[in-house]
């Protein structure tokens, strides 16, 4: 209780008292979990700029040691962090525990990835001396976090950025400041100065101010496509700033011939409804061969009917919790009704048992007959089903989106998977695996409206440092061999 009370302090250093409070509420109960003032942007950026040279000058081994200590601090706080994530964004406790594990695992993965992707390399040549390739940090990087993985996803930017020698300003989602606060506390307890990695609470307004700030060298963003586009537009004339955009998806899962329909159905349900559909990689569209349609849909519906929707700490544990807030639940309900009234056929209705809370049941709707399916990300537990006759049609349907994050084929022959892999447009292409649950040891990003070709995950090292090529010789040596009078 003491730790939880410590989460909501009235006044933090670097906060602007004239602005309205940021208030974070538990989706499952509506109770307030955190309240505080938004940060004061100039103060935060100035502190970061002052801290950067010292941090960048530290030997790499020190920075690595400090992030390893961070992992130990997270281990000590694992229970508090997991319970706070579960309360603040409504995900089941077992899932919040898994998120905390990902935070810890990120450290060793990032150390490996730094060494492999951005370490120093030397190419020796008798004529040119040594050609060295080394990497330098950008400077002050701002991490703008989403609500759905309020610790793991920002951390996926923060750790590689710190290892590479950047200082970090982390602005958590305004819907998840309590989780962000514990994360950043672990960095400080590990011995990383509070100016090297700062918590900067705020909403879209503060996000915009950081994006526009002259003292910021880059924006590492995970969130919706609309926000990502706004950031991209704002920085269109600033090629000097590094911008990594990890955005949403309208992800397809294609089910083709397979003798294992029950397993296929489980992969579909996991892809569509894990985290109440609030994952960037969640399957939004199930594209299914007409000959399998009836049998598959019986299995998918039966399994979806069995999913327990409940509060994070319920016993027995729920499969999924509520969506993030009532506004999100209202929007999803409206979207479902829109699909229904424009040619969609409900296979499983979206049900909201209590209008005052954002718990939604998993919903399935056949949109095959819709003339014009909106290509938007419905960030919740709604799965659209589209029936197709042949494999080319399935691929065309999978690509019928401006997004391109994750795509899965379930069933099919190796030849069909090869065709799918070659032709489907997405940054994550899986076979007989869910669209969700990307590996830390692999790049994680999308094309189209899903990203700007700066994947995070294992490749985050690439956008946290820039390469410098240096031709180097111990002594000057005359070089002009021809063309002299």
| Catalytic residue ranges | 246, 280
Q: Does 91 bind ligand NAD (CB under 6 A)?
A: no
- Ramachandran category for residue 320: left, alpha or beta (phi over 0 → left; psi -120 to 50 → alpha): beta
Tokens (6 digits) for 292:
């399998």
* 174 makes contact with ligand NAD (CB under 6 A): yes
Q: Is residue 251 part of the contact set for ligand NAD (CB under 6 A)?
A: no
Tokens of 449: 């409206």
Residue from 22, 182, 211, 378 touching ligand NAD (CB under 6 A): that is 211
Q: Which range binds ligand NAD by CB under 6 A, 109-117, 244-252, 292-300, 329-337? A: 244-252
Q: Is the peptide bond prior to 316 cis by the omega test (within 30 degrees of 0)?
A: yes
Q: Look-up: residue for tokens 């400090």?
A: 66
Position among 14, 145, 165, 180 found at the interface with ligand NAD (CB under 6 A): 145
Cα 383 from chain centre: 20
Tell me the site size for ligand NAD, rule CB under 6 A. 29
Question: Does 45 help bind ligand NAD (rule: CB under 6 A)?
Answer: no
Residue 12 token pair: 């933090």
For 211, counting Cβ atoms within 10 Å of its Cβ (0-12 exposed, 13-18 middle, 19+ buried), the class is buried
To ligand NAD, the closest distance from the beta carbon of 256 in angstroms equals 26
- Token digits for 19? 């602005």
Structure tokens at 83: 């319970």
| Shortest distance in whole angstroms from residue 198 CB to ligand NAD | 15
Nearer to ligand NAD, 34 or 379 (CB): 379
Cα separation, 39 vs 42, in Å, equals 9
Candidates 33-41, 90-98, 170-178, 265-273: pick the segment binding ligand NAD (CB under 6 A).
Answer: 170-178
Indicate the angle between helix axes 60-76 and 177-189, nearest 10 degrees. Answer: 120
Please choose, out of 27-35, 37-45, 145-153, 312-320, the segment that lies near ligand NAD by the rule CB under 6 A: 145-153
In whole angstroms, how close is the CB of 46 to ligand NAD at the nearest point? 20
Residue whose entry in the numeric block shows the structure tokens 């269109």: 236
**222 sits near ligand NAD (criterion: CB under 6 A):** yes
Nearer to ligand NAD, 153 or 272 (CB): 153
> Is residue 29 within the footprint of ligand NAD (CB under 6 A)?
no
CB 431 within 8 Å of CB 127 = no
Q: Assess contact for 407 and 397: CB atoms under 8 A.
A: no
Q: Give the nearer residue to ligand NAD in terms of CB position, either 38 or 165.
A: 38
Task: State how beta strands 22-25 and 345-348 pair.
Answer: unpaired
For residues 307 and 268, what is the distance between their CA atoms, to the nearest angstrom? 13
When the beta carbons of 171 and 289 are compared against ligand NAD, the nearer one is: 171
As measured in angstroms, the least distance from the Cβ of 88 to ligand NAD is: 12
CB of 394 to ligand NAD, least distance (A): 23
C-alpha–C-alpha distance, residues 433 and 213, integer Å? 42
CA 318/CA 149 separation, integer angstroms: 18
Q: Which alpha helices (DSSP H) does 379-482 contain, by range?
A: 391-398, 414-423, 460-464
Nearer to ligand NAD, 331 or 343 (CB): 331
For residues 283 and 344, what is the distance between their CA atoms, to the nearest angstrom? 18
> What part of residues 176-195 is at the interface with ligand NAD (CB under 6 A)?
none
Judged by CB under 6 A, which of 70, 187, 256, 379 binds ligand NAD? 379
Task: For residue 108, give both structure tokens.
Answer: 């060793």
Q: Which of residues 270-329 bind ligand NAD (CB under 6 A)?
A: 280
For residues 277 and 411, which CB has a smaller minimum distance to ligand NAD in the complex? Answer: 277
The values of phi and psi at residue 459, to 5°, are -90, 5
35-43, 219-227, 346-354, 393-401 -> range binding ligand NAD (CB under 6 A): 219-227
Query: Min. distance of Cβ 184 from ligand NAD in angstroms?
Result: 14
Kindly identify the residues of this chain, within the stretch 397-456, that bind ligand NAD according to CB under 6 A: 405, 444
Q: Applying CB under 6 A, which residues contact ligand NAD?
A: 144-149, 153, 171, 173-174, 203-204, 207-208, 211, 222-224, 227, 230-231, 246-248, 280, 377, 379, 405, 444
């Amino acid at each position: 209780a003491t730790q939880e009370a410590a989460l909501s302090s009235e006044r933090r250093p670097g906060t602007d008292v004239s602005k309205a409070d940021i208030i974070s509420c538990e989706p499952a109960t509506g109770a307030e979990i955190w309240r505080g003032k938004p940060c004061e942007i100039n103060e935060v950026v100035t502190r970061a700029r002052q801290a950067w040279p010292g941090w960048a000058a530290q030997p790499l081994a020190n920075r690595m040691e400090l992030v390893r200590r961070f992992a130990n601090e997270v281990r000590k706080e694992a229970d508090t962090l997991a319970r706070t994530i579960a309360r603040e964004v409504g995900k089941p406790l077992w899932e919040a525990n898994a998120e905390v594990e990902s935070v810890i695992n990120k450290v060793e993965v990032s150390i490996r990835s730094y060494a492999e992707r951005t370490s120093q390399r030397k190419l020796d040549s008798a004529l040119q001396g040594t050609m060295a390739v080394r990497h330098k940090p950008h400077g002050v990087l701002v991490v703008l976090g989403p609500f759905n993985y309020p610790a793991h996803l920002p951390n996926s930017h923060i750790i590689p950025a710190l290892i590479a020698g950047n200082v970090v300003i982390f602005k958590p989602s305004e819907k998840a400041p309590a989780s962000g606060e514990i994360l950043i506390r672990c960095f400080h307890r590990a011995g990383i100065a509070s100016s090297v990695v700062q918590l900067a609470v705020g909403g879209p307004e503060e996000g915009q101010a950081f994006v526009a700030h002259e003292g910021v060298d880059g924006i590492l963003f995970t969130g919706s496509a609309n926000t990502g586009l706004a950031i991209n537009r704002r920085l269109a004339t600033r090629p000097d700033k590094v911008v990594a955009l990890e955005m949403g998806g309208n992800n397809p899962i294609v089910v083709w011939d397979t003798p294992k329909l029950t397993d296929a159905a489980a992969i579909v349900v996991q892809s569509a409804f894990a985290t109440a559909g609030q994952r960037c990689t969640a399957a939004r569209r199930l594209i299914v061969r007409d000959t399998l349609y009836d049998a598959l849909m019986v299995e998918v519906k039966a399994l979806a009917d069995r999913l327990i929707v409940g509060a994070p700490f319920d016993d027995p544990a729920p499969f999924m919790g509520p969506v993030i807030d009532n506004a999100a639940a209202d929007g999803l309900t409206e979207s479902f009704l829109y699909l229904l009234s424009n040619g969609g056929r409900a296979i499983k209705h979206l049900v909201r048992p209590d209008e005052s809370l954002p718990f939604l049941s998993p919903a399935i709707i056949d949109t095959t007959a819709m003339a014009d399916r909106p290509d938007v990300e419905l960030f919740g537990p709604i799965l659209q089903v589209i029936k197709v006759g042949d494999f080319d049609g399935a691929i065309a349907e999978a690509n019928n989106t401006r997004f391109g994050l994750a795509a899965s084929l379930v069933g099919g022959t190796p030849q069909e998977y090869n065709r799918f892999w070659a032709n489907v447009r997405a940054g994550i292409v899986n076979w007989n695996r869910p669209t969700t649950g990307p590996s830390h040891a692999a790049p994680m990003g999308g094309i189209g409206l899903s990203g700007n070709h700066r994947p995070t995950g294992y490749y985050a090292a690439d956008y946290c440092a820039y390469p410098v090529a240096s031709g180097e010789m111990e002594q000057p040596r005359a070089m002009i061999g021809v063309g002299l009078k």
